[in-house]
Chain A
Amino acid sequence: MNQHLTVVVVEQNQERAFAIVDALKEAGDVDVYVIGNVSGLARKIATHSPDIVLIDIDNPSRDMLEELTVASGPLERPVAMFVSSAAGGLAKAAVEAGVSAYVVDGLQAERIKPVIDTAIARFQVLRQMRTELAETRRALEERKVIDRAKGLLMKAKGVSEEEAYALLRKTAMNQNRRVAEVSEALVTASGLLS
């Protein structure tokens, strides 16, 4: 008998939430609710009376869910993080993928597993995308700082762009630092002096 499960996903980013919901629905007979706004989180979760709550590990609001693990919490049924009831390896994999799951006590590990497995796979993809985005952003920021530093050098020393960059690179190599770091120091210093 394959009874269906109720899953609550706490995720502010709508696109990410949809990606998770789709994956979970494909995986099996589940009702999925998304909570985007975290104010009064515990109360909102209680109204859905879920079997499993999934939340991004980097979400600072996760601490609000810990209230549910205390016996006197707002849910009638006690909630435990699934590690205490299911296989430990699964928990570790979930944490590595960037997802935390809270499972209402009394649920069998084999019923939880497909849902958590799907969530882990989905979160891994999302995490990778986020890392890539962050790296692209950082590269862009660094590019901007290096350009400003080049401009400062060109103006101050009357050199060409190429020469300015060569100077930055040489300084970075001598000091065993990255070009972006040297550039940032130069921009900061020039800001102070101007």
Chain B
Amino acid sequence: MRTVTLPVAYMPLVDAAPLIVACEMGFDHAEGISLDLRPAPSWSSLRDMLAFGHVDAAHLLSPVPVAMALGLGGIATPLSAVSILSLNGNVIGVGTQLAGRLADQGYGFDFSDAAAAGAALAQAAGDVLVFGVPFPFSMHVELLRYWVAGTELASKQVEIRTVPPPLMAQALAGGEIDAFCVGEPWGSFAVDDNVGALLLPGKAIWSCAPEKVLAVRNDWAETEPHLLGSLMRAVWRAGRWLSNTGSRTTASEMLSRKTYLNVSPELIDRALMGEFTISARGEQRHVDGFVEFFDGAATFPWRSQAKWVAHQLAKRNGLDAGTAERQSAKVFRSDLYRRELQGLGVETPGASEKLEGALPESTAVASTNGSLILSRNVFFDRRIFEPAG
């Protein structure tokens, strides 16, 4: 079969797995395309590579296309998030000094209770607490802000600074930041580097946070619907392959290669298995479904997810929340997802929006074949997101 080469940009992170697997396992060739994966040195250059047409698709932080639709952050090329690449997968960690003070307070590092972790950190921290995050428009920032606002940390002066993930451990060691929120493997890297301890998985703040999306330019989506469909199906198959527990060791090995993440497979394995070493003393914690690529309709781009992000961005940047939500809902393309994946017999939900935070247990919902189960979806403070528009 004649294959079309598709340049796709990604950041070397565990959650780039669906793209790397699609390429390594040949899911792309099965769809008549050949992925040409290009690592990006920074999120801003990755965004530019996509916006200026150097690549046709990208692994992107879910808030980036939303922010662009709202006119925040410079570039304004209209982008579409055609599927969710991953849910969750971030960790919050603190430097050794703060970790020591938390331990002295008798904090147990349960790695699950976000309210208790916030209270303990507020007690251990000084007046000012500086967090490092990978990018100003990211789920990392949104989770941190949401967590800070809902805990005793709200009484502190919290600053959030951008630090590229591979430099996070160094910034912590150098005292530039006190804590961080970053995607794996960079949290575990800081632990192994002896400069910090892990406090919470991002999942403890929002159990169902859309972390990375598969993004394309709107004009490309319109002019190349067949390529788009092939790309979406190849990536969807990769997600399904990743959801098999038996695939994880192979996936860790693939991702660890020099051309991709270039770190030890053991470090990647922690995220894929949800088995964490949270401190230099070797304490172990388990997180069920730490990062999700498939189960519970994880890849479906819910318009309500875009609205949640837009709501938070609007509040902080002085925009009207209702207008921002309406503008951003169109960015998450549940319509394209249905169109391109239904042919595969993929279960798609009946609705394109859901009440974020309103699912305390996994629940069966109306869907094409009637057998779709959505995963638990709650915020740590049990609030339910009410859209303004």
Contacts and interface: CB of A to CB of B under 8 A. Distances in A.
Interface of A: 39-40, 42, 57-67, 69-72, 80-81, 83-84, 91-92, 95-96, 100, 102
Nearest to A63: B42
Nearest to A73: B136
B246 interface: no
Contact of B167 (A60, A69, A92, A100): A60
A63 to B, nearest CB: 5
A81 B75 contact: yes
A31 to B, nearest CB: 24
A100 B41 contact: no
Contact of B41 (A59, A65, A67, A83): A59
Contacts of A62: 41-42, 44-45
B108 interface: no
B373 to A, nearest CB: 37
Chain B contact residues, majority secondary structure: loop
Given A39-B174, A39-B176, A63 B44 contact: yes
A71 B135 CA distance: 15
Contacts of B74: 66, 69, 80-81, 83-84, 102
B134 interface: yes
A100 B75 contact: no
Interface in B162-211: 162-164, 166-167, 171, 174, 176
Interface string B133-145: 0111100000000
A66 B75 contact: no
Given A58-B41, A100-B45, A63 B176 contact: no
> Interface centre among A42, A61, A64, A84, by most B CB within 10 Å?
A64
A57 B176 contact: no
Interface of B: 41-45, 48-49, 52-54, 72-76, 134-137, 161-164, 166-167, 171, 174, 176, 316-318
B52 A95 contact: yes
Contacts of A58: 41, 45
B73 A70 contact: yes
A141 to B, nearest CB: 12
Given A63-B135, A67-B136, 11 more contacts: A40-B176, A60-B167, A66-B44, A66-B73, A66-B136, A67-B162, A69-B72, A69-B73, A72-B316, A95-B49, A102-B74
B317 A71 contact: yes
A70 B72 contact: yes
A65 B43 CA distance: 11
Contact of A61 (B42, B53, B174, B176): B42
A65 B317 contact: no
Contacts of B53: 92
Contacts of B164: 60-61, 63-64
A60 B42 contact: yes
Contacts of A69: 72-74, 136
